[in-house]
Amino acid sequence: MLTVCHFTSAHPPYDGRIFYKECVSLAKAGYEVYLVVPNAKDEIIEGVHIVGVQVNNGNRFCRILLTANAICKKALSLNADIYHFHDPELLRFVSCLKKKRKIVIYDMHEDYPVNILTKNWIPLFLRKYISSLYLKYETKMLKKLDAVVVVTPQMKKRLQALTEVEIITNYPLYEEPKTRKVDYLERENVLSFAGTISEIRLHENLIRAIEGINNVQYYLAGRRTPYLDRLKHLSGWKKVVYLGLISQKEVEELYVKTKIGIIIEDYGEVNYGNEGSMGVTKLFDYMKFSIPFICTDFEYHKEIVDKYHCAIAVNPRNLNEITDAILYLLNHPEEAKKMGENGHEAYVAYYNWASQEKILIDLYSRLGEHEKQVKV
């Protein structure tokens, strides 16, 4: 039995992708799985050994320097066969792991050279310079890896000349919602979004679009941000119900009464212009809950929308298109209900974690088999 160690300096112990999807899937497949995380309790959950490292995360720079060192030290002490890490600050430990002849996988949750360009905590005049420096460093380190796991085709295209690359999209776990659904035709005119409330989501356009629509409310859930505070000054804010940061159970309770899901994102570098990113996974959550939704007309999203007729894709900068899409779904409830059902059928057939679990297990099997041959 091969021993696997996932380690992260930035994510919580029960992260949806790392713990519930990747680690639990590997444990079920017969691997001995450890997850090293900051400030967790040592315990075994669903076959996964959670190993906590007590640290004072303090600020971002403490995490990058001190927390990363402590996490990697603990991970190395486990002497696993395969190491799978999840944060860019852990790249600097790749050389050490390879000297010990370990299989090393890097799970790139984001396209960091692109995302650096959007980080508000980095002065604007420094972002391109820091992004280019990081890209050179990343390229150097990735060549030493056995594999990289990414979430978008664009990332795979950029990296595939450096090492083995697999796309593992963050589709939802396959399960039927536990919360009892409200019959779609009996739902109030509730639009909803639960997630990060940031400028790229263009919430101001949605709020402006609903301002002139009668009998509709926009339920918005997520951590308070300076951007959210600016949204409150819009005249259409009176139609917004801000829920704050809510639990996963409360998200489910919101979704089962939602009439239209919202996942409007702006074009831009982080979304690869008009192409879009399969890293934007909220549309799959709406499909899981049989919710028709309005999304940006990214190429990748339109392929899904056109194939399954489960949503309306719009130009996120065009208020008329957004308004028309909302009105169409509200004024055609039977068709909207059918769109939600179409989305759910696609979720059951493919857009759930089971399809990605197979890719993950196949990757581990290949790398493990190769390692056995090398040692022989």
Higher pLDDT, 182 or 229: 229
User: Which two three-digit tokens encode residue 343?
Assistant: 């989305």
Q: Report the distance separating Cα 104 and Cα 106, nearest Å.
A: 7
Q: What is the pLDDT of residue 376?
A: 44
CATH superfamily of 3-173+353-375: Glycogen Phosphorylase B; (3.40.50.2000)
Please give the share of the chain, as a percent, with pLDDT higher than 90.
Answer: 82
Residue 374 has pLDDT above 60, yes or no: no
Q: Which two tokens stand for residue 100?
A: 């010990």
Which segment of 50-64, 72-86, 214-228, 348-362 scores lowest on mean pLDDT? 50-64
Segment 132-191, tens digit of pLDDT: 999 999 999 999 999 999 998 989 999 999 999 999 999 999 988 777 888 999 999 999
Q: How far is CA 99 from the centre of its chain?
A: 32
Please answer whether residues 196 and 266 qualify as being in contact, where contact means their C-beta atoms are separated by less than 8 angstroms: no
* Parallel, antiparallel or unpaired: strands 240-244 and 217-221: parallel
For residue 83, report the phi and psi dihedrals to the nearest 5 degrees: -115, 130
Give this prediction's pTM.
0.89
Largest Cα–Cα distance of the chain, in whole Å? 72
Q: How many CB atoms lie within 10 A of CB 157?
A: 11
Dist CA 77 CA 74 (whole Å): 5
pLDDT at 339: 98
Answer yes or no: is pLDDT of 372 > 80: no
Query: What pLDDT, on a 0 to 100 scale, did the predictor assign at position 373?
Result: 56
Instruction: Give the separation between CA 341 and CA 347, rounded to whole angstroms.
Output: 10
**Closest-CA residue to 224 (of 194, 203, 245, 247):** 245
164, β-bridge pairs: 147
The domain ranges of the chain are 3-173+353-375, 184-349
Same fold, 3-173+353-375 and 184-349: yes
Average pLDDT over residues 234-246: 96
Is residue 255 pLDDT above 90, yes or no? yes
Residue pair 50/43 in contact (Cβ under 8 Å)? The answer is yes
Report the distance separating Cα 325 and Cα 331, nearest Å: 10
Q: Nearest CA to 217 among 235, 199, 238? A: 238
Mean pLDDT of 286-298: 96
* Residues 50 and 13 sit within 8 Å (Cβ to Cβ): yes
Question: Contact at 8 Å (CB) between 261 and 237?
Answer: no
Residue type, 374: V
d(CA 48, CA 71): 17
Residue 60: band (very low, low, confident or very high) from pLDDT cuts 50, 70, 90: confident
Please tell me the distance from the alpha carbon of residue 106 to that of residue 87, in angstroms, as a whole number: 8
Query: Contact, 19 vs 48, CB < 8 A?
Result: yes
Q: Among 9-23, 31-45, 46-60, 309-323, which is the least confidently predicted range?
A: 46-60
**What is the CATH number that goes with domain 184-349?**
3.40.50.2000
Helices (H) and strands (E) in the chain, counts: 15, 14
One-letter amino acid at 52 equals G
Cα separation, 202 vs 220, whole angstroms: 13
Average pLDDT over residues 243-247: 94
3 state DSSP class of 83: strand
- Residue 163's CB: how many other CB atoms inside 10 A? 17
Residue in the structure block whose two tokens are 């679009």:
209
Residue 370 pLDDT: 63
The predicted structure's pLDDT at residue 8: 97
